[in-house]
Amino acid sequence: MDEFMQAAIAEAELGLQEGGVPIGSVLVHQGKIIGRGHNRRMQQGSPILHGEMDALQNAGRQPAHVYRECTIYTTLSPCCMCSGAIELYGIPRVVVGENQTFMGAEERLRKAGVDVVVLQDETCIRLMETFIQQHPELWNEDIGE
Amino acid sequence: MDEFMQAAIAEAELGLQEGGVPIGSVLVHQGKIIGRGHNRRMQQGSPILHGEMDALQNAGRQPAHVYRECTIYTTLSPCCMCSGAIELYGIPRVVVGENQTFMGAEERLRKAGVDVVVLQDETCIRLMETFIQQHPELWNEDIGE
């Protein structure tokens, strides 16, 4: 598997170990990871620290031209908040681990000209399926069923 | 003026005093502010801490039903990231200080059924106009001109 999706999965697994939602992400610029992160809703009590947002935050302030040369990898289809961030910064490519357990705003991203690739990776699917089965109250807490 | 927009402006002014982008926001639930925040791009080197996102983060984890009874106040028209967050959490009403210096994703919010009210408040406009004039390099840093 692609080393960057592997790094995103490692982030998701780290989140799971911390008792969090197992979703991870890395921001890649010219073949190098410049930000990595995972969902920290539980860990930090934050509704905005989805995996993609955490990766963007950990990349720090970047100039516009850098974002426009990036690919963001995420283990789960990006929700409308994360998709909005991707659109805001003009990130041209998103590699998605899976969209079977949750379908994000992929169509909106495509309409905005973003290249969205979906891997339907078994590890990503299993991470989410297991979490949702074990913690339905956490998964449904914030945006409902 | 509405006390909640006044509170959002106070947040924007606090951000300005800290050397940041003067955009503030408050999240209001049943007549009470449950989260307040301001843009912290400069202060924390964070590309995701726009005013609205900071207010959402500072409100902490909230159940879905609370978001659905909230109004979010923001001194500047919400960008597509912040609009995506508003849509994700099903916040039904947004009060916008102004959209003259920056037009966010208001149309998308309206299409999603969100009630968007724009005040075109002179204080909000002056805060942004002055900042953009004095710091064009900061204003244009991340998403370009």
d(CA B124, CA B83) in angstroms, rounded, equals: 19
pTM: 0.97
Q: How far is A70 from chain B (nearest CA, A)?
A: 13
| Domain range annotation of chain B | 3-143
Q: Which residues of A are catalytic?
A: 52
**Chain B neighbors of A59, CB-CB under 8 A:** 47
Write out the CATH class of domain B3-143.
alpha beta
Contact present, A26 and A55 (Cβ < 8 Å): yes
Q: Does A144 touch chain B (CB under 8 A)?
A: yes
So what's the pLDDT on residue A142? 85
Residue A47 CB-density burial (10 A; 0-12 exposed, 13-18 middle, 19+ buried): buried
Going by DSSP bridges, is the β-strand pair A70-76/A24-29 parallel, antiparallel, or unpaired? Answer: antiparallel
Q: Does A92 touch chain B (CB under 8 A)?
A: no
Q: Quickly tell me which residue has 């912290």 as its tokens.
A: B40
Smallest Cβ distance to A45: which of B61, B140, B143?
B61
- Backbone region of residue A100 per phi and psi (left: phi > 0; alpha: psi in -120 to 50; beta: other values): alpha
Q: Is B71 helix (H, G, I), strand (E, B) or coil?
A: strand
The structure tokens listed for B143 are 């998403």
Q: What percent of chain A has pLDDT over 90?
A: 93
Cα radius of gyration (chain B): 14
d(CA B42, CA B135) in angstroms, rounded, equals: 12
So what's the pLDDT on residue A145? 63
Complex confidence, ipTM: 0.96
Q: Which amino acid is present at A11?
A: E
Q: Does A87 touch chain B (CB under 8 A)?
A: yes
Is the Cβ pair A144, B105 closer than 8 Å? Answer: no
Name the A residues in 1-40 with CB < 8 Å from any B CB. none
Q: Which amino acid is present at A36?
A: R
- Give the ranges where chain A is alpha helix by DSSP (H): 3-17, 41-44, 51-59, 64-67, 80-88, 106-111, 122-134, 136-139
Smallest Cβ distance to A61: which of B85, B105, B141?
B141
Question: Could you list the pLDDT tens digit for every one of the 145 residues in chain B?
Answer: 689 999 999 999 999 999 999 999 999 999 999 999 999 999 999 999 999 999 999 999 999 999 999 999 999 999 999 999 999 999 999 999 999 999 999 999 999 999 999 999 999 999 999 999 999 998 988 887 6
The structure tokens listed for B30 are 């049943």
Question: Residue A144 pLDDT > 90, yes or no?
Answer: no
The mean pLDDT of A14-35, rounded to a whole number, is 97
Q: How far is A37 from chain B (nearest CA, A)?
A: 13
Helix (H) or strand (E) holding B8: helix B3-17
Q: What is the pLDDT of residues A91-133, one digit of tens each?
A: 999 999 999 999 999 999 999 999 999 999 999 999 999 999 9
Nearest CA in chain B to A57: B46
Q: Does B69 touch chain A (CB under 8 A)?
A: no
So what's the pLDDT on residue B145? 63
- Facing residues of A29 across strands? A32, A70
